[in-house]
């Protein structure tokens, strides 16, 4: 996963707060995920909250602002030192590690109970790596512990295929599942899916994507033309604009609990 993340370092650090119209630093956009995590903590108390791939630590700061993390240890786990450098406040412990390789023992003591949260990370694993990441996360949890994640996933196969074709043309290594496939992979890895709820979609403009992935104007035009031939326009998923294209990632919040050992 680190190789996939590394190509985006141009937007890590301070620029991250403005990426995609500030989606990842907007309190209102984060509210559904933060409130879901807060509800889980209310009914299943934990000692440590770990944001997996937490970037600048924004989600943890929002959880703390709600008062839901009072008395808890908050850990921001990310493999980008540029992102971790912006982790706000002395109450958050930054840990430089990859989501697919970290060890639970580096985050909490033997007798502590964890809650894992995550936003927009699983697609970095790619199609071939998704299951192994989910198995690894289950290995780092104990039965009854929760994993609350907001992941881009699509109801229809055609929608997922469209976005995956776009990201393949941008050479990102990212891959997006359907909702049904992701639920199946979670269950296979030992997670019980308690609820699935909609979260705010992310608007992606070709201008933003060019900046994030280092694409030239010529590459954007080529991608636009190829996508138009293969998929045409798919409302609220992929649409052509006068200068390029725009796409939408449709997020859902999955509340999962680790099954029996």
CB 257 within 8 A of CB 144: yes
Query: What residue ranges define each of the domains in the chain, with the CATH number in brackets?
Result: 2-155+174-202+250-258 (3.40.50.150)
* Chain Cα centroid distance, residue 254: 11
pLDDT in tens, the chain (261 residues): 555 455 565 555 566 565 778 898 899 999 999 999 999 999 999 999 999 999 889 999 999 999 998 899 999 999 888 888 887 556 889 999 999 999 999 999 999 999 999 999 999 999 999 999 999 999 999 999 999 999 999 999 999 999 999 999 999 999 999 999 999 999 999 999 999 999 999 999 999 999 999 999 999 999 999 999 999 999 999 999 988 999 999 999 999 999 997
Distance CA 221, CA 166 (A): 12
Indicate the helix (H) or strand (E) that contains 149.
Answer: strand 146-152
Distance CA 182, CA 153 (A): 8
For residue 225, the model assigns a pLDDT of 97
The residue assigned the tokens 């301070």 is 14
CB 37 within 8 A of CB 148: yes
| Whole-structure pTM value | 0.94
What the block records as the tokens of 54 is: 């937490």
What the block records as the tokens of 256 is: 């999962």
């Amino acid at each position: 996963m680190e190789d996939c993340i590394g190509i985006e370092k141009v937007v890590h650090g301070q620029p991250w707060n403005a990426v995609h119209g500030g989606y990842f630093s907007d309190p209102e956009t984060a509210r559904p995920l933060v409130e879901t995590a807060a509800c889980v903590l209310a009914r299943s108390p934990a000692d440590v909250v770990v944001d997996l791939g937490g970037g600048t630590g924004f989600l943890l700061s929002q959880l703390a602002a709600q008062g839901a993390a009072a008395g808890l240890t908050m850990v921001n786990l990310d493999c980008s030192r540029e992102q971790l450098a912006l982790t706000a406040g002395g109450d958050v412990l930054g840990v430089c590690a990859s989501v697919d390789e970290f060890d639970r023992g580096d985050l909490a003591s033997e007798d502590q109970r964890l809650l894992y949260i995550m936003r927009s990370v699983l697609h970095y694993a790619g199609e071939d790596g998704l299951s192994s990441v989910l198995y690894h996360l289950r290995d780092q949890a104990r039965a009854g512990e929760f994993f609350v994640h907001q992941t881009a996933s699509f109801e229809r196969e055609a929608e997922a295929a469209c976005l995956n074709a776009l990201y393949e043309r941008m050479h990102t290594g990212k891959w997006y599942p359907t909702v049904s496939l992701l639920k199946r992979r979670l269950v296979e890895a030992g997670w019980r899916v308690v609820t699935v709820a909609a979260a705010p979609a992310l608007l992606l403009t070709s201008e933003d994507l060019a900046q994030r992935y280092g694409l030239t104007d010529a590459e954007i035009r080529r991608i636009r033309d190829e996508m138009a031939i293969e998929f045409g326009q798919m409302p609220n998923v992929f649409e052509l604009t006068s200068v390029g294209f725009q796409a939408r990632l449709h997020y859902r919040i999955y509340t999962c609990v680790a099954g029996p050992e």
